[in-house]
A and B are shown apart, each in its own frame.
Chain A
């Protein structure tokens, strides 16, 4: 543990000056090294204390881990994971579609259409996604999976609509003007000139928003959709297995966090690749925001 921490630390040390401090001189470097060692010891001690607590409260007994050896339990967890991914795929595809529709609405020249789409986008971004899911599930009496997917779609679709809209608006003005000068109509300009450039530049932001959707599939647990966390709870709250809550968390969270990290990492990778790409020079897109409320809020 100590080794990896210090190795990482030395690799990460910043060679350049920031607004906060200059490049450290030899004395300061020595002092920083001392701080580093001291804090590493504290962090390792803290980590060790947690591990000690885990042992002390009998989290590693055979009885608590034994359920995971059984095929039935593994299949239960895998089925849960499959259901999580299923909800995610549905929600992702549908939110992209809804986002595109709402963005087109907001960019439309018909005033009514524009108002309606703006209203929808602003409302769904302002509502907690869980309130929407519960409303669909309880008040509209929809089954858990469609309720979860619908809730996620409405929220993420609205956020994505904003991303699409800013993406299209931020394409360099000359591109649009040139296309109009060639005699293209608005639909042609949007589909053949603006959208392709915007989408390419927006890709990282879109993927980051999909990470949010993936994380939020776990809300299905609260409406008894039989997803990953639900499977975990069923195992964890069983007296026969000595209530293995902590072992279940230790098995489930690396998988959940790993999936989300993989997707986040993909987003950064795409973003990095794009910074080198000439084709996206004309567009700059800000990251998606959870939602603003007052006009002129941001």
Chain B
């Protein structure tokens, strides 16, 4: 207990670091994932190839390797950014591949007849997509997107080992200060539980409000 009260600001900083990483990387992952998903269902072949390559490569890349390549490799190109930004890029790109697959299978769950009906009513591609297909797809992807973002929050722990301020990294300082390691880890675990439970709760509410009744 002392570990938490005496080092509250340290824990707070680490906690905020993880929250920031999670929020920014989620935003990047959702945007990139949406872009790649639209590439993958596009009628133009080369877009589909790009989307498929992006997804296949990133899904099969160990995240640690991606961090290594981004944080240590990109500066070799003369691209020097703050570590936190690099971490957001690595996490966001990695997760975007999973988001893309979730969105794509969401779009695929919309029955063909829906699109055909919309088109027979005279709707054009944009209208079909925005008023018929996407609203239905959105409902069915809420739970899987939620669990992908939970996975992202958990994966953000890797950033701590690459000198980014975040929750797991606080154990190093506490260990140097001579606090009980077991207790420092228990509070770190609680911190992660708070973050993942919050995401889970948010998505539960969304699911209740908009989800498809199954």
Q: A–B direct touch, CB within 8 Å, in complex?
A: yes
Give chain A's interface residues, CB within 8 Å of chain B: 5-6, 8-10, 12-14, 17-22, 24, 28, 32, 35-36, 39-40, 43, 53, 57, 59, 126-131, 134-135, 138-139, 211, 214-219, 221-222, 229, 232-233, 236, 243, 245-246, 249, 252-253, 256-257, 260-261, 264, 289-294, 296-298
**Which segment of B5-13, B25-33, B43-51 sits at the interface?**
B43-51
Q: Is the CB of B60 within 8 A of A131?
A: no
Complex interface: chain B residues within 8 A of A134 (CB): 168, 171, 185
CA distance A130 to B168 in the complex (A): 9
A54 to B: closest C-beta gap in Å: 8
Q: Is the CB of A245 within 8 A of B76?
A: yes
Known: A39-B44, A135-B185. A261 touches B168 (CB 8 A): no
Complex interface: chain A residues within 8 A of B125 (CB): 20-21
Q: Is the CB of B154 within 8 A of A128?
A: yes
Given contacts A19-B112, A20-B41, A290-B147, 11 further A-B contacts (CB under 8 A): A6-B45, A9-B44, A19-B128, A20-B129, A21-B115, A134-B171, A215-B61, A218-B63, A246-B73, A260-B62, A298-B143
B72 within 8 A of A: yes
Instruction: Pick from A6, A8, A245 the residue with the most CB of B within 10 Å.
Output: A245
Q: Is the CB of A12 within 8 A of B45?
A: yes
B102-131 near A? 1/0 per residue, CB < 8 Å: 000001101110111001000001001100
Q: Is the CB of A139 within 8 A of B185?
A: yes
Q: Is the CB of B69 within 8 A of A249?
A: yes
| A-B pairs with lowest CB-CB distance, top 7 | A9-B45, A19-B115, A260-B60, A128-B154, A218-B62, A218-B64, A290-B151
Q: How large is the interface on B (under 10, 10 to 19, 20 to 34, 35 or more residues)?
A: 35 or more
Q: Is the CB of A257 within 8 A of B60?
A: yes
Give chain B's interface residues, CB within 8 Å of chain A: 41, 43-50, 52, 56-57, 59-65, 68-69, 72-73, 76-78, 107-108, 110-112, 114-116, 119, 125, 128-129, 133, 143-144, 146-148, 150-151, 153-158, 161, 168, 171, 175, 181-182, 185, 188-189, 192-193, 196-197, 200-201, 203-204
Q: Is the CB of B49 within 8 A of A9?
A: yes
Complex interface: chain A residues within 8 A of B197 (CB): 293-294
Complex interface: chain A residues within 8 A of B57 (CB): 257
CA distance A256 to B63 in the complex (A): 11
Known: A9-B48, A22-B119, A256-B65. A130 touches B60 (CB 8 A): no
CA distance A214 to B48 in the complex (A): 28
**Minimal Cβ-Cβ distance residue in A for B162:** A222
Known: A18-B41, A138-B181. A39 touches B129 (CB 8 A): no
A170 to B: closest C-beta gap in Å: 15
Contact of B43 among A32, A215, A218 (CB under 8 A): A32
Q: Is the CB of A9 within 8 A of B64?
A: no
B interface SS class: helix
Question: Could you list some 17 contacts between A and B, CB below 8 A?
Answer: A9-B45, A13-B45, A17-B112, A20-B115, A36-B46, A57-B77, A126-B193, A131-B188, A139-B181, A217-B62, A218-B62, A221-B64, A221-B68, A229-B62, A236-B72, A253-B65, A290-B150
Q: Is the CB of B43 within 8 A of A21?
A: yes
CA distance A188 to B44 in the complex (A): 54
CA distance A107 to B183 in the complex (A): 33
**Minimal Cβ-Cβ distance residue in B for A17:** B112
CA distance A221 to B112 in the complex (A): 47
CA distance A8 to B48 in the complex (A): 10
Complex interface: chain B residues within 8 A of A130 (CB): 154, 157-158, 161, 168
Complex interface: chain B residues within 8 A of A216 (CB): 62
Complex interface: chain A residues within 8 A of B196 (CB): 126, 293
Known: A245-B72, A249-B73. A256 touches B44 (CB 8 A): no
Q: Is the CB of B158 within 8 A of A20?
A: no
Contact of B49 among A12, A129, A229, A256 (CB under 8 A): A12
**Minimal Cβ-Cβ distance residue in A for B18:** A128
Q: Is the CB of A36 within 8 A of B45?
A: yes
Q: Is the CB of A18 within 8 A of B112?
A: yes
CA distance A291 to B196 in the complex (A): 10
Q: Is the CB of B116 within 8 A of A17?
A: yes
